[in-house]
A and B are shown apart, each in its own frame.
Chain A
Amino acid sequence: MCDHLFLVPRNLFVGFILGWRRAISPIYGNVCRYYPSCSAYGLGAVQQFGVLRGGVMTGWRIIRCNPWARGGIDDVPARMDGNFPLSRHGFVLPKKKEH
């Protein structure tokens, strides 16, 4: 339960980003010079690193996505202590406790 509470803020943002990707992204189409796109990167970053760190990572990525950028592959780095599991829809679940 406590684990779930800890994940509430980031899951709120995950919901927002999922909504953005469904409703807003299609309006301007694919413009990103990176793969995954900035919104997909933002989703991954918030899922794994939370609202604050993930948010800063996303902001920095958007700033990097300018016409002077080389572009190409730029994945969200993996967590040192292992990534959080995700639900089918993309929401973050607590890590399984190791016995």
Chain B
Amino acid sequence: MPDILGIILWPFRWVIEALLVGFHTALTALGMNPGDGWTWVLSIVGLVLVVRAALIPIFVRQIKSQRKMLEVAPELQRIQAKYKGKRDQFSREAMTRETMALYGKHGTSPFSSCIPLIAQMPVFFGLFTTLSNAAMGLKGIGLMDLDLATNFGKATIFGSAPLHSAMSTANGNMAVIWVAGVMVVAMTASQFFTQRQIMAKNISQATKESATYRQQQVLLYILPLVFLFSGFAFPLGVMMYWLVSNFWTMGQQFVVIRNMPTPGSEAYAAWEARQLKRNERKGISAPVVEEAPEEPKQAQRQQPVGKNRAKRGKGKK
């Protein structure tokens, strides 16, 4: 059987090597020591910056598709009212189905889609392969020649923590265990902060009332375990990629919450207030749009009552 994964990863590995070597050469030219682990760490940071910058369009598109969520809110409430109090699996599934059909009809969705989730995976595993091959003294498949590979494979930070070792392969090397431990804590903290930030400020009231939101909140408490496991299994160099990528997400989220908040959220109200103030300063009076709250419709159809029955009913009272 051909190595399908290897074939898929090949172009990613080539580009990763090219970027790492490019940044490493540039940093060396700027006067950094080519054998120093930190030069390689900064090269990994460079790799993150390039990859995440390339992913910005996906992210922007994602936010834009969430903007129309406010339009579907009334219909969403109707569905929620229809299934109110129905907790059995069948009704839950029917409700999810109807909700998703509604999103599809309007071409909006609170969900980010599956591709962004796996878009970084080949980069992650490509870096993993590049690093472990370098640690074994193998030259790369592209621009990383034997000298650079050996150099990368031997690179250490804090004196004795090699970039290619993980907690599981530390063999009692305390420097590795400490660095990995600190990174796990930093990753957990950044992830936690990002999620909290989104949940506290950038979620519309309609989403807050959904079941998925509650499920998402439970995640906050599972993630540290995931990071602990990865700190155990993945080498420091790969963890470094992940950590910096997490920081990028945090910064990106901050900008988004400030400048492109989800309509109907707390951050959106703050953004509107800022816009209003700015307009006042410029002397533009913004038209005030007021929306009348819609009367909740009854989910159950009123049974038609015949003339005679209606009369009888009155008579009894």
Contact = CB atoms under 8 A, between A and B. Distances in A.
B257 to A, nearest CB: 18
A1 interface: no
A62 interface: yes
A56 B73 CA distance: 36
B65 A72 contact: no
* Size category of the binding interface on chain A: 20 to 34
A62 B100 contact: no
A35 B223 CA distance: 25
A57 to B, nearest CB: 14
Nearest to A61: B114
A29 interface: yes
B29 interface: no
Contacts of A70: 104, 107
Nearest to A73: B101
Contact of B113 (A26, A27, A32, A73): A32
Given A26-B222, A67-B112, A73-B101, A31 B117 contact: yes
B80 to A, nearest CB: 16
A67 B113 contact: yes
B100 A35 contact: yes
* Size category of the binding interface on chain B: 20 to 34
Interface string A18-48: 0000000011111111110010000000000
Interface string B96-120: 1100110111010101111111100
B215 A27 contact: no
B113 A72 contact: no
Contact of A62 (B62, B118, B215, B218): B118
B269 to A, nearest CB: 25
Given A67-B61, A68-B61, A29 B212 contact: yes
Contacts of A35: 96-97, 100-101
Nearest to B114: A65
Contacts of A72: 100-101, 103-105
Contacts of A31: 111-114, 116-117
Contacts of B58: 66-67
A5 interface: no
Given A31-B112, A31-B117, A66-B58, A71 B100 contact: yes
Q: What 3 pairs between A and B have smallest CB-CB spacing?
A: A72-B104, A35-B100, A65-B114
Given A67-B116, A71-B107, A72-B103, 14 more contacts: A27-B226, A30-B212, A30-B215, A31-B116, A31-B117, A32-B113, A62-B115, A65-B114, A66-B116, A67-B61, A67-B113, A72-B100, A73-B100, A73-B104
Interface of B: 58-59, 61-62, 65, 96-97, 100-101, 103-105, 107, 109, 111-118, 212, 215-216, 218-219, 222-223, 226
